[in-house]
């Protein structure tokens, strides 16, 4: 079952009466519970694709469906509700609130969770090995610790979609493995659909599928027979998807 589907999607900008295409003729289906790795260099269009999928931006033409709902027909209030209820965001820069404790940062995600249960916070602190840091502030954590807090905050609202924009870009190998491992575990436990944006081909087999974007177009779409566990990824080598 598809959770997201893009049909003939373009995203362009008018510059000096000329159309500049950030995305061109994108056709893409994403299954419920899939980890989709989106690979591409800076400027390839991968972040624009994430923005379209998450309702942050609108397609210039074509259709974007969430289940059976056409996001292109949503007004701004409906799009905001979609982002608030269905989508979780994880960024490379963490975006934590510096004057809030770790537990309070994670608790922010509960504001968008209909359950609004404090038990979720305890569960996430345990799952992400953050219990001993719950009363500390972001500046007291390493980069890997901050990223785990950012992931926990995004997951506190139990999103159907988890959008990850270069979540390991500022991390060393050890902490990158921890982050990918947690994403894989959470995907398996809750069937959360994960879209993982990265420029690093080492992650191509960390998901069920990898697509490669260049100049706004999908140039390669690869299904992986099995996910490679984070701790088994061969850092220091280039890994691509299977043919």
Sheet of 18-31, strand order: 18-31, 2-15, 61-66, 69-70
Number of Cβ within 10 Å of residue 202's Cβ equals 21
Q: Helix (H, G, I), strand (E, B), or coil: what is residue 212?
A: strand
Sheet of 87-91, strand order: 87-91, 161-165, 193-198, 35-39, 209-214, 217-223
Assess contact for 204 and 39: CB atoms under 8 A: yes
Query: Comparing C-alpha atoms, which of 30, 107, 87, 40 is closest to residue 64?
Result: 30
Q: What is the pLDDT of residue 180?
A: 92
Domains annotated on the chain, with CATH:
33-58+85-232 (3.40.50.300)
pTM over 0.75: yes
DSSP 149: H
pLDDT in tens, the chain (243 residues): 899 999 999 999 998 889 999 999 999 999 999 999 999 999 999 999 999 999 999 999 999 999 999 999 999 999 999 998 899 999 888 889 999 999 999 998 877 666 657 788 898 899 888 999 999 999 999 988 998 899 899 988 889 999 999 988 888 888 888 889 989 998 998 899 999 999 999 999 999 999 999 999 999 999 999 999 999 987 754 433 333
Query: Comparing C-alpha atoms, which of 96, 115, 113, 114 is closest to residue 105?
Result: 96
Helix, strand, coil share (%) of the chain residues, nearest 5: 35, 30, 35
Number of Cβ within 10 Å of residue 77's Cβ equals 8
């Amino acid at each position: 079952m598809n959770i997201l589907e893009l049909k003939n999607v373009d995203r362009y900008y008018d510059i000096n009466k000329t159309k500049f295409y950030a995305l061109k003729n994108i056709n893409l289906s994403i299954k419920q519970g899939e980890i989709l790795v989106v690979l591409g260099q800076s400027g390839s269009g991968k972040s624009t694709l994430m923005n379209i999928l998450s309702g942050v931006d609108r397609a210039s033409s074509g259709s974007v469906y969430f289940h059976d709902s056409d996001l292109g027909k949503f007004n701004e209030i409906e799009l905001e509700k979609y982002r608030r209820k269905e989508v979780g965001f994880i960024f490379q820069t963490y975006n934590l609130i510096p004057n809030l404790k770790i537990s309070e940062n994670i608790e922010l995600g509960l504001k968008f969770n209909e359950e609004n249960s404090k038990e979720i916070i305890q569960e996430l602190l345990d799952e992400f090995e953050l219990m001993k840091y719950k009363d500390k502030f972001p500046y007291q954590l390493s980069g890997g610790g901050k990223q785990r807090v950012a992931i926990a905050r995004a997951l506190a609202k139990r999103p159907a979609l988890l959008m990850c924009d270069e979540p390991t870009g500022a991390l060393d190998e050890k902490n990158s493995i921890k982050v990918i491992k947690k994403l894989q575990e959470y995907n398996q436990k809750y069937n959360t659909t994960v879209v993982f944006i990265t420029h690093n081909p080492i992650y191509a087999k960390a998901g069920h599928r990898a697509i490669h974007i260049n100049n706004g177009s999908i140039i390669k779409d690869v299904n992986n027979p099995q996910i490679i566990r984070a701790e088994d990824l061969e850092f220091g080598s280039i890994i691509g998807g299977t043919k």
